[in-house]
Structure 1
Amino acid sequence: MAAVTIIGGHGKIALILARILSSRGDAVTSWIRDPGQSEEVAATGATPRVLDVENASREEIAAALAGSDAVVFSAGAGGGNPERTYAVDRDAAIRSIQAAEQAGVKRYVMVSYLGAAPDHGVPESDPFFPYAEAKAAADVALRASDLDWTVLMPGRLTLDEPTGRVDPDATRSADNPGTSRANVALVAASVLDRPDTVGKDLPFTDGDTAIENAWA
């Protein structure tokens, strides 16, 4: 059994992930910003904790992470507001990385996106630009840390049913098949138990390879 903290605990991926982890016996704490989301989070088997990572200091985040074995960062501003996108997807993410180091939590899984990189190629005129910039900066900070990190890079997210199968060689394109949020949750749960995914970027869309055999 592991103690796992999910940051961004009310997101669609996080809610599915919390249920998967709780059902296999892990002790899950899901961080949320709105106390009104507590009941839905608790229904997954996770323990809800109200902590606004957008405004929390590194020290506050580190204190809240004490006792965790692993962190999954699945928070996001949701787009539409560049200032909040940078505040959550970049700044809060980087503070949480630093806080995990401070708290001695070694395992850290970042939910990013397929194509995330400093040379992402998104023009500044594109509304997606702040998100692309923010995720690139957070991913770079994680790779430079002393943590046992993994960056998940799923394609376009869908609400389809999980298949448990991915294409681990996927590259970003306008016509890629995407992947379900449930598949992303399955991948996150799998890599938490897989030392062979430490220090790796994991691109994927839906495909034909069983998750447990991907990236081996």
Structure 2
Amino acid sequence: MSRVIVFGGHGRIALLLAPILTTRGDEVTSVIRNADHIADVEQTGATALVADIEQLDTAALTDLIRGHDAVVWSAGAGGGSPERTYAVDRDAAIRSMDAASAAGAKRYAMVSWLGSVADHGFPESDSFFPYADAKWAADEHLRATDLDGTILGPGTLTFDEPTGRIELDAPDHGHVARADVAAVIAAALTDPGTIGRTIRFGNGTAASSEPIADALKR
């Protein structure tokens, strides 16, 4: 059993992840900003914790994380203003990593995106640039920490039914069901072979994909 804290606990992926973790016996704390979402979160078996991660400093985040074994960062500004995108997707994410180190929660899974690279191709004039820039900065910070980090880069998210299968390095920002992303996060947390890796994936096709556990082992 592990004690897992999930940031962005009311997000669509997090709401699918929590029951996977709780069903296998993990204790899950889901951090949410809006108290109106407590019931939704607790239906998954997780414990809801109301906190505004955008406002909390590293010391306050350390207090939230202390006592947990693993951190999942699935929070995001959700396409808000550039300022808020940087505040959440980059700055708060980075503070959470520093807090995880201070709290002794070595295992850290970052939900990024398949196109997170230094040369992501989006000009500063593009409305997507702040997100791409913020995610890359957060990913790079995780790589430089002493955490047992895994960066997960799913392609374009869909509401399709889960397949239980993925294709690594899927072309064309391969589409992937949110439920399969949740399954990948859960599998990665218990697979030490994913530590230190950036795993980019989509669902692929029946011919190109493989079971999630098999794909992660490669």
Within 1, Cα distance between the matches of 2:200 and 2:78? 21
Question: Which of 154, 177, 181 is equivalent to 1:180?
Answer: 177
Higher mean alpha-carbon deviation, 4-13 vs 110-119, is at: 110-119
Within 1, Cα distance between the matches of 2:148 and 2:178? 23
Amino acid at match of 1:211: I
Deviations 1:155-181 (A, max 9, x none): 00001111010001324x2xx441011
CA contact (8 A) 1:74 1:111 kept: yes
TM-score (norm 2): 0.96
Q: Does residue 1:5 correspond to 2:2, yes or no? A: no
Residue 213 of structure 1: aligned partner: 214
CA root-mean-square deviation: 0.8
Amino acid at match of 2:170: A
Q: Does residue 1:163 correspond to 2:160, yes or no? A: no
Q: Give the superposition deviation at 1:215.
A: 3.1
Deviations 1:134-189 (A, max 9, x none): 00000000000000000000000001111010001324x2xx44101111000000
CA contact (8 A) 1:150 1:199 kept: yes
Aligned residues, how many? 213
Amino acid at match of 2:9: G
SS state of the match for residue 54, structure 2? coil
CA contact (8 A) 2:9 2:74 kept: yes
Residue 94 of structure 2: aligned partner: 94
Q: Does residue 1:112 correspond to 2:112, yes or no? A: yes
TM-score (norm 1): 0.97
Amino acid at match of 1:183: D
CA contact (8 A) 2:174 2:201 kept: no
Residue 72 of structure 2: aligned partner: 72
Amino acid at match of 1:57: D
CA contact (8 A) 2:188 2:216 kept: no
SS state of the match for residue 123, structure 1? coil
Pairing of 1:50-61 with structure 2 (within 5 A)? 50-61=50-61
Residue 199 of structure 1: aligned partner: 196
Q: Does residue 1:139 correspond to 2:139, yes or no? A: yes
Higher mean alpha-carbon deviation, 11-20 vs 206-215, is at: 206-215
After the TM superposition, which parts of structure 1 deviate over 2 Å for at least 4 consecutive aligned residues? Answer: none
CA contact (8 A) 2:158 2:178 kept: yes
Deviations 1:3-56 (A, max 9, x none): 000000000000000011011110000000011100000000000001111110
Within 2, Cα distance between the matches of 1:215 and 1:21? 18
Deviations 1:58-117 (A, max 9, x none): 000001111100000000000131110000000000000000001010000000000102
Residue 38 of structure 2: aligned partner: 38
Within 2, Cα distance between the matches of 1:85 and 1:177? 24
CA contact (8 A) 1:80 1:127 kept: no
Within 2, Cα distance between the matches of 1:112 and 1:142? 11
Residue 21 of structure 1: aligned partner: 21
Identical columns (%): 56
Within 2, Cα distance between the matches of 1:119 and 1:139? 14
Within 2, Cα distance between the matches of 1:169 and 1:52? 34
